[in-house]
Structure 1
């Protein structure tokens, strides 16, 4: 792509195109960390800006989404920046890594603070593409990618990861990321669960005399309700391991049903009441465990 051969020209093109009027049209009165003016090469590399520096309606949605997500998390990253000389972050199930690249830009270009960010995914093609993008942007000193499963991934850095994020890691992949983060005692965890189907599969086998049988026997309702219960069980388990947990909506439900963001801040104290809540809730819905519980039992001392 020509942009990589002549980045100064593209930057100038973006500066000419994105007038204050055009910026206001896409941003309104909102404050976005990343814009077509302060990071045109990054947005172009991620495919969010066209070759003429314009932005299509579909890419505008993604642009708004990643900025909104970052705004929700920025205070936590600022806290890590203040506490650690080198901030270490793992993106589990990184996919195309929109947020991962934004974080690399944030620490390297905006904050000029040392960071080591690793994106992990089982898709080798996506990992290869991400590595190429990082090289073209000159982010190799901040950003790395590895093809691996979170079930077998080993953290080989000098210190533990300070933050673990997992955005739209499907089904039990979210549990794997959370179990890894809890085991490593990460300061901060952020997950946006996706396709929580584990409980729904187990509920199909529940005794028909159970009080929740009407839910279990209605496939669409079973899947939706099971997803909510899965996340509540995850919250209880994470709280029991010493984390303060918050669940918020990060994208309006009119855009996508996959809109729950769970953030966890490590406080260091185990919470017996949360363990009791988890046990009671699990028993009430049929005594089925979730993968996060199984992984924590195997990995935690």
Structure 2
């Protein structure tokens, strides 16, 4: 159910609840832009603040996670602001759109820079809730949501997206987001892969006398190892198509194993050495590839 915004006095309620001591306990030494003081209505709308402006333990984890990710990405969006009069962002597989709403809020309230953001997902209910939330927050003029599959979605705006983000887009949805971004020549891409199962499925069917056969036929190990190599193959392919790629941990592994953030900055020139690395790695893994290779051809 979509959360209703609180009356105008909710900001005052948050100011009273979040004393310096409570803020210190919440954030430690971290310098977060989005806080219960700076953006109480936004955090309430996202379900991270209770009606009395307090925050539950689960919400605290989510609050820290999205703020940390935002801090990792902020410099890239500041750079886009310097380069583009209007920054255009696509959130591929947006889900509940936590980061998308943070970005929209920052563009409007902090950076005061024109932006067009589109969130795309196949979940009709989530898209409806996101649309209502954007309207409630007064962000609907810059933040739009569409029901669409990444299999068929095409960027229809006159100018290309400057940034494409895909956070926890499951399995091959991450590959589709990367392929769309590369084909549209987006300046910046950020993906947090999730549930990388494609390569593991192919390994399961591999009955050859391969050095990795013990891995191929041990389910739990197969899934973990395949997820790591899937991301490495993605990195090689993205680098081969003209992007500088950095992989980093955006939350501690004790919180979730799905904690890899790949940031990609377009440099323009295709990197032949990265393509050779991809092909060599694929050969060593028994010839199995990932759908991203096909999508980029």
Could you state the TM-score of these two structures normalised by the residue count of structure 1?
0.97
How far 1:4 sits from its partner (Å)?
A: 3.0
Over aligned residues, Cα RMSD in angstroms?
1.1
**Structure 1 counterpart of 2:161:** 161
Q: Pick closer, same or farther for the CA change 1:190–1:2 going to 2, 3 Å.
A: closer
How far 1:151 sits from its partner (Å)?
A: 1.4
Alignment deviations for residues 3-50 of structure 1 (CA, whole Å, 9 cap, x no partner): 6362x2101111111111111110111100100001000000000000
Alignment deviations for residues 211-267 of structure 1 (CA, whole Å, 9 cap, x no partner): 110100101001100000100000000000000000011111111000000110000
**Structure 2 counterpart of 1:145:** 145
Q: Which runs of 5+ in 2 are unaligned?
A: none
How far 1:89 sits from its partner (Å)?
A: 0.4
Aligned partners of 1:171 and 1:290: how far apart in 2? 10
Aligned partners of 1:145 and 1:60: how far apart in 2? 26
Given that residues 199 and 288 in structure 2 are in contact (C-alpha distance below 8 angstroms), is that contact kept between their aligned partners in structure 1? yes
Aligned partners of 1:19 and 1:142: how far apart in 2? 33
The 5 Å alignment of 1:133-212 reads 133-212=133-212
Aligned partners of 1:186 and 1:151: how far apart in 2? 18
**Structure 2 counterpart of 1:122:** 122
State the SS of the aligned residue for 1:161: coil
Aligned partners of 2:122 and 2:197: how far apart in 1? 20
**Structure 1 counterpart of 2:5:** 4
Given that residues 107 and 115 in structure 1 are in contact (C-alpha distance below 8 angstroms), is that contact kept between their aligned partners in structure 2? yes
Aligned partners of 1:43 and 1:247: how far apart in 2? 28
Aligned partners of 2:294 and 2:159: how far apart in 1? 26
Aligned partners of 2:164 and 2:68: how far apart in 1? 18
Given that residues 164 and 188 in structure 2 are in contact (C-alpha distance below 8 angstroms), is that contact kept between their aligned partners in structure 1? yes
State the SS of the aligned residue for 2:132: helix
State the SS of the aligned residue for 1:120: strand
Aligned partners of 1:3 and 1:119: how far apart in 2? 21
Kindly tell me the number of residue pairs found equivalent between the two proteins: 296
Aligned partners of 2:200 and 2:154: how far apart in 1? 30
Aligned partners of 1:55 and 1:97: how far apart in 2? 19
How far 1:208 sits from its partner (Å)?
A: 3.5
Aligned partners of 2:89 and 2:30: how far apart in 1? 27
**Structure 2 counterpart of 1:21:** 21
Given that residues 3 and 45 in structure 2 are in contact (C-alpha distance below 8 angstroms), is that contact kept between their aligned partners in structure 1? no
Could you state the TM-score of these two structures normalised by the residue count of structure 2?
0.98
Alignment deviations for residues 57-114 of structure 1 (CA, whole Å, 9 cap, x no partner): 1100000000000000000010001111101000001000000000000101111110
**Structure 2 counterpart of 1:228:** 228
**Structure 1 counterpart of 2:52:** 52
Q: Does 1:260 align with 2:260?
A: yes
Aligned partners of 1:296 and 1:243: how far apart in 2? 13
